Each structure stands twice: as C-alpha cells, then as structure tokens.
Structure 1
Amino acid sequence: MAHHPKQHGGRVGHGSESSLSEESSSTEWVLRLNKQWQAEDVDINSFTDNEPSSSSNQKSSMPSMPSMPSVSVLSVPAAQGSASASAHPQRGPPCVIMAPIVHALLQSHRAGVCDPCVFFNSARGCRAGRTCPFCHLDHPKVNVAGSNRPRKVIRDKIKERIEHCLQGPQDEVHACLQEVARDHAYARCLVRGYLDEDAQGDLKENSPTQPGEVIFL
C-alpha cells in the first residue's frame, strides 16, 4: 500500500519540498548548460559516459580560421620614413662640409706636398682664416742647425729677399714670403723669426708708419 506524505495545513512535507527544489535546480542547470553549448556550437552527444570520442566525431569549439598567405618581412630603410625608423633614427658618421680650397689643402697635406702657411706658424698668426690658400695644419719642425744651415752667402741672400717682401705691397707680402720659405728649411725659419719680431713690435708701439714700412693687419 502506497504511503502518501502527510499534509500539514495544506503544505507538502519538508522531504518532498526539498526533492522538488533539487529537481528544479537540476533542470535549470541543464537548460543553462544546453544553451551555453548551443551558443558555442558544441555537440552534447559527443560527451557520453565521460569517454573521449574519436577525432572524427569531435567538433571544434571555434570556427576554423582560413589559411593565411605567407608574408616575407622586408627591411625598410630609414629614408623611407617608416614608423620604427622615425622613432629611433640611426645615426651615421658626421657629415663634414668643407670648402673646395680646404679639401684641396687637406689632400695635399696628406700627400706631403702642401705649402705650410708662414703666418699661421708665427706669433702673428694668419688673419685669412679659411680663405687662406696655404696649409694651416701642424708640420714637424726641421732642425736647421749644423749641416742643414746654408752658407753665409746664401743666408745673406735669403735675408735680402725677406726684407724685399716686407717692403712691397701689403697684398703681395704673404705670397712673396711663401715663395722665399719654399726654397729652404732655413729660409722658412728665418721668415718666421722676422714675423715674430714684427708681432712684438706691434705690441709696444702704434706710431705712424715710415715710408716703405708695412704693418700686417
């Protein structure tokens, strides 16, 4: 004989009420899970008895992506204005812009055939700057003592030529002294000595010039 749950005041017993609540919760959980699987396109039948199904019956949870073509990476020079190149520009060697006359003097100096400026290597210094057609780089000093010193006759002629240059037109003094200095190392040293004395004389007096006297500016 079946036993019916006792009703107290029209209410179902606590055991029956708990069973109904559990069934309702289970039903809602299954419905939510079924909707979630349907949204993800998962086959519920593939999950049977907690056994892994064969690879032929499995369905991917995500749609398969189309095969992408292979892309080769090209290095873009900085000159084309790429984003990475503009953010981190590569620095090349410093660009030195030289006047043609300076470039020619540098080449001749490296070849050992330059013409050192007599004013630049003296106490007076050269006022022409970059426009000077003679070399302003450092040169080794030459010892003119002993056997390198010319005879007295030649030394006297060199002094006469230097004095002749200093008494000539001011715009020709530099070229004239350069010509004298090219002949002999002693002549170059003597020219520098004259210019050093002239520089010291300018410091102690600013008197008017005498006829034929040249003041180097």
Structure 2
Amino acid sequence: MTTYRTVSIDGLDIFYREAGSRDRPTILLLHGFPTSSHMFRNLIPALADQFHLIAPDYPGFGHSSMPMVDEFDYTFDRLAEVMAGFVDAIGLKHYSLYLMDFTKLMKISALLLALPISILANFSLRASADSTAGLILSTKCQGRYNINIWQNYTNGELLYRATSPNGNLSLGKGTKQATEGVRMYKFRSGIYEYWVWDGTLDNPQSGTLEVYKNNRILMKQACRKS
C-alpha cells in the first residue's frame, strides 16, 4: 500500500510517496519535468513487493511547497540540495537512484555530490518506460533474472525491463507473436536478441527467457510468472 507523507526541509514542505518494506532494497524515484511523483503511481505498486520505494515531489511541483521565484532559487543545484536534505531527514543511507530526463541534469549539476550516502545503482530509464505504460508480463527466471514487459498506453510500444546479477537492461520497440497459442515477446539490442515466452504448452504460469547472439542461442532459462 502506498502512503503519503510530508517532511519539512529548509522551511519547505516536501511531499512524498512511500511503499514497500524498509527491510527491502530502497529505490529513490526522482520525477521528470514537468510532472511529479504522480508519474510513478503505477510503477510503485508494481514494485512494492520487491523494493522499498520513495518518490518525492520537488519544490514547486506536485503537492510540495511552491514558493515564489523571489523566495526560492529554482536551479538544479538548489533542487539537489533540497533532495539531499530530504534524504537525510527521512534517514536513507543506502539506495538506488531512478533518474528521469530532468534529474539527469540535477545529477550532472550537483546531486551525486550533494548526497552523503552510498548509491548502489543508477537506473536511468526513459520516462515512457513505466510512467505511461502498463505492465503486461512479470516473470522471475533462473539465474535471478527478473523480467517485466510493459506496453506504452499511447503508441502500443513494447518495452523490456530486466534486472539480474549481471546488471540491468532496458529495451524498446519489441514485437510479439504466438506459436501454438503461446505468446512470445522479442527484443533486439545490436547483435543480441531477447525472447520472453509467456507460458508453455504445458503450463501457462511458466515461461522461458532465451538470449541469442548472431542468431545463435547463448542462454535459456526457465521462468515463472510473478
């Protein structure tokens, strides 16, 4: 369940959404422009069973304080300072950052220098990946591969999001087809192809992840829908 809270930072009320157990890995979701933490309303419940999620609104956005321009310096440096104060106020020590287009500029400007914490990972995915798309398949595969397939609400584009011990992968422009009634999603990255089977002939709750290089199979892992 998502909860809604407010914390005071330098005299500003900073609104944030929180979900998931604090015993799980934390992801700090920093929204893009011109939007707010509302953009994560679908992503948060989809990940809350695996992660602890925090999504604040910057000053001047969403439900946070909106000081006039002569009362607040709306620069990337200043926003980064407020976010650093926010992280400290709610007691985050170790977490992953999820950055959008707008927050990439904050990152370059001051964000990573301002945050006195340990950053475990840096997720920098396109805004269309999870904020304007619906989750159509979530599966866990052998080798600790977690695969999510999303579909863009506007143009129907299929999106591939994967996490594994080897890193994270974000792909778009997927295709789908059906073989003997089993749906398969296919994504390409250079000479590599990723095939995600939604079920098997014997068990619709199972599936398979297949990875190809130059049309030769590199890996095949059994999966189960989550």
Short-chain TM bin:
under 0.3
Higher relative contact order (CA 8 A, sep 6+): 1
Which structure is higher in strand share?
2
TM-score normalised by the chain length of structure 2: 0.20
TM-score normalised by the chain length of structure 1: 0.20
Larger Rg: 1
Which structure is higher in helix share?
1
